[in-house]
């Protein structure tokens, strides 16, 4: 019998989970807590909530982000954790920002450097190539994803490489690199912990900085139990991280080649920089003798001094920390080794020519716009069904495939928070709006949505008709039976109540109190 807090008659302490007063799942009957032996209590730990999966992808058909988001929201533990974790990053970013008085100047400078570089891109790329070659780096150019994959495959084949360790790179996701390598029989091992979790779970990254942020630790325990034989009941993060380290280290040490991306490329020095928090890029680059770096052509900055501006902004914007743990400069191959850089276009030149969207190339992939976006935080990155999710995804993805990603620019409230936090001052919410117009022009918007928008446009452009419609709607709402709005067919009514309409509209009040003209 329990006497004081958790102490039994014989003085022994109960495990916290067995103390009735702290156990939310305890079953109390007639003032007495039932125990398991009576066969009536619930298990001490309820089964973990299953992880909601991402958007269903059917070839070129428009991704239904709304449907996938609804499933994520319905998984309340995941939704709550995701929202809180990302909002925490946003708050940390704000604290860092307040510690730097010249923050806004830095943002303007970063934006100006990127805009200058993008408008002189050919010159700076040539300068980088010449200097990189002087440093002993072999430089390749890839027009698109297929060419990138072929080039890397050729390099690996020339070296007889069968396994490749790799640090996180959104560009290689964009290129479908892992499936391609699997098709030619080369094993790819992701070295970033989050990315490795996603690889083992056969899922894409859901965030550009924290790829497995949508997973609960019980989800990770389930993945590791299935793939690297850990204890399925143990979701302790230290245990899981250690088990993953033990499982991956031998693969890293035995790999034939290493691959990284790059956060920045410096034209004047012919070098590139990779920022990580786990040091995994350094392992990928330095353990094998062959290092291949896949780099998007927009990553270039003119001089080394410009790098400082971006390094100060990147980690603060991304994770709310002053620096990434590792900021590694790669200057050339190590003694006896080889270094290759593949500069990839894959639609970037085309985007550079799009008057309304070219500045999206300024993006440094910090993820701040995702962390602040209320839609992204609550719907999870995999609901977008694309390489890039969140606000930056809404403006990049349609440049790859306007039909497939035609629904994405509508997954935004256009509140502008994304543009406010962007360290390189991309007018994200304005570009989202511009994409909506563009998609209508290209006939990529469903007819029902187009018809509804057209009707709304007509109504809003005729004040008298608008007022009459509002008066009619107010009367109808006051008298309609409840089931007309709150029924299973109307998703809107599931979580909302229509506010009571006031007795008098503003226009009516104005006419009554200030005269006829409104």
What is the binding site for ligand SF4 (CB under 6 A)? 363-369, 392, 421-424, 426, 428
- As a whole number of angstroms, the distance between CA 277 and CA 209 comes to 10
When the beta carbons of 170 and 283 are compared against ligand SF4, the nearer one is 170
When the beta carbons of 52 and 320 are compared against ligand SF4, the nearer one is 320
**CB 456, min distance to ligand SF4, A:** 30
Exposure letters 209-236 (e unless 16+ CB within 10 A, then b)? bbbbbbbbebbbbbbbbebeebeeeebe
When the beta carbons of 367 and 380 are compared against ligand SF4, the nearer one is 367
**CB 212, min distance to ligand SF4, A:** 18
**CB 90, min distance to ligand SF4, A:** 11
Segments of 60-137 assigned E as strands:
none
**CB 89, min distance to ligand SF4, A:** 12
- As a whole number of angstroms, the distance between CA 467 and CA 473 comes to 10
Beta-sheet pairing, 271-276 with 264-266: antiparallel
Helix (H, G, I), strand (E, B) or coil at 240: helix
Q: Give the DSSP letter of residue 405.
A: T
**CB 396, min distance to ligand SF4, A:** 9
**How many other CB atoms are found less than 10 A from the CB of residue 506?**
10
When the beta carbons of 113 and 366 are compared against ligand SF4, the nearer one is 366
**CB 353, min distance to ligand SF4, A:** 19
- As a whole number of angstroms, the distance between CA 244 and CA 238 comes to 10
Tokens for 22, please give them: 């702290």
H or E segment to which residue 285 belongs: helix 280-286
**CB 12, min distance to ligand SF4, A:** 54
When the beta carbons of 69 and 363 are compared against ligand SF4, the nearer one is 363
In the chain, the largest separation of any two C-alpha atoms, in whole Å, equals 88
CA angle 484, 488, 489 (to 5 degrees): 75
- As a whole number of angstroms, the distance between CA 215 and CA 44 comes to 22
What is the CB-side half-sphere exposure of residue 298 using CA atoms within 13 A?
A: 21
**CB 25, min distance to ligand SF4, A:** 41
Q: Give the DSSP letter of residue 446.
A: -
When the beta carbons of 97 and 369 are compared against ligand SF4, the nearer one is 369
When the beta carbons of 49 and 83 are compared against ligand SF4, the nearer one is 83
Yes or no: say if 269 and 302 are a contact pair by the CB < 8 Å rule.
no
Q: Sign of the CA dihedral 189, 191, 195, 197? A: positive
**CB 392, min distance to ligand SF4, A:** 4
DSSP secondary structure string for all residues of 341-401: EEEE-TTHHHHHT-TTTGGGGG-----HHHHH-HHHHHH-GGGG-SSS-HHHHHHHHHHH-
When the beta carbons of 196 and 365 are compared against ligand SF4, the nearer one is 365
**How many other CB atoms are found less than 10 A from the CB of residue 196?**
24
When the beta carbons of 180 and 310 are compared against ligand SF4, the nearer one is 310
**CB 388, min distance to ligand SF4, A:** 9
Yes or no: say if 369 and 391 are a contact pair by the CB < 8 Å rule.
yes
When the beta carbons of 52 and 391 are compared against ligand SF4, the nearer one is 391
When the beta carbons of 116 and 334 are compared against ligand SF4, the nearer one is 116
- As a whole number of angstroms, the distance between CA 25 and CA 36 comes to 12
When the beta carbons of 140 and 436 are compared against ligand SF4, the nearer one is 436
**CB 280, min distance to ligand SF4, A:** 21
**CB 142, min distance to ligand SF4, A:** 22
């Amino acid at each position: 019998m329990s006497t004081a807090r958790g102490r039994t008659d014989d003085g022994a302490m109960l495990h916290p989970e067995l103390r009735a007063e702290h156990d939310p799942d305890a079953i109390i009957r007639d003032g007495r807590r039932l125990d398991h032996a009576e066969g009536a209590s619930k298990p001490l730990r309820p089964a973990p909530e299953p992880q909601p999966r991402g958007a269903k992808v059917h070839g070129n058909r428009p991704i239904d982000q709304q449907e996938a988001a609804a499933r994520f929201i319905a998984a309340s533990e995941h939704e709550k954790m995701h929202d809180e974790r990302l909002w925490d990053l946003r708050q940390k970013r704000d604290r860092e920002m307040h510690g730097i008085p010249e923050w806004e100047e830095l943002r303007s400078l970063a934006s100006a450097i990127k805009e200058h570089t993008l408008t002189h891109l050919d010159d700076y790329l040539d300068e980088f190539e010449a200097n990189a070659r002087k440093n002993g780096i072999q430089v390749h150019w890839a027009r698109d994803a297929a060419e990138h994959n072929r080039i890397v495959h050729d390099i690996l084949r020339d070296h007889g490489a069968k396994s490749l360790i790799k640090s996180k790179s959104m560009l290689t996701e964009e290129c479908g690199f892992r499936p391609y390598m699997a098709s030619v029989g080369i094993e790819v091992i992701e070295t970033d912990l989050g990315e490795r979790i996603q690889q083992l779970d056969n899922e894409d990254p859901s965030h550009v900085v924290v790829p497995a942020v949508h997973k609960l630790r019980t989800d990770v325990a389930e993945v590791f139990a299935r793939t690297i034989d850990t204890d399925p009941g143990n979701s302790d993060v230290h245990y899981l991280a250690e088990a993953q380290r033990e499982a991956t280290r031998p693969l890293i040490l035995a790999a034939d080649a290493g691959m990284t991306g790059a956060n920045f490329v410096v034209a004047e020095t012919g070098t590139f920089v990779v920022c990580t928090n786990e040091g995994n890029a350094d392992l990928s680059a330095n353990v094998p003798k062959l290092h291949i770096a896949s780099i998007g052509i927009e990553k270039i900055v003119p001089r080394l001094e410009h790098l400082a501006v971006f390094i100060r902004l990147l980690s603060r914007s991304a994770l709310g920390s002053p620096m990434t743990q590792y900021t590694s400069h790669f200057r050339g191959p190590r003694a006896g080794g080889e270094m290759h850089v593949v500069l990839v276009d894959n639609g970037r030149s085309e985007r550079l020519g799009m008057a309304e969207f070219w500045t999206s190339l300024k993006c440094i992939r910090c993820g701040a716009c995702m962390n602040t976006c209320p839609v992204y935080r609550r719907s999870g990155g995999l609901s977008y069904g694309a390489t890039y999710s969140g606000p930056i995804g809404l403006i990049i993805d349609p440049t790859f495939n306007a039909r497939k990603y035609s629904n994405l620019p509508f997954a935004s409230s256009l509140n502008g928070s994304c543009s406010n936090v962007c360290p390189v001052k991309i007018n994200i919410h304005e570009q989202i709006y511009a994409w909506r117009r563009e998609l209508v022009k290209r006939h990529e918007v469903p007819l029902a949505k187009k018809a509804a928008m057209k009707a709304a446009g007509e109504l809003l452009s005729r004040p008298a008709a608008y007022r009459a419609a509002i008066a009619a709607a107010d009367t109808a709402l006051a008298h309609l039976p409840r089931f007309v709005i709150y029924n299973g067919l109307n998703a809107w009514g599931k979580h909302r109540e229509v506010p009571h309409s006031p007795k008098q509209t503003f226009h009516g009040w104005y006419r009554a109190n200030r005269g006829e003209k409104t």
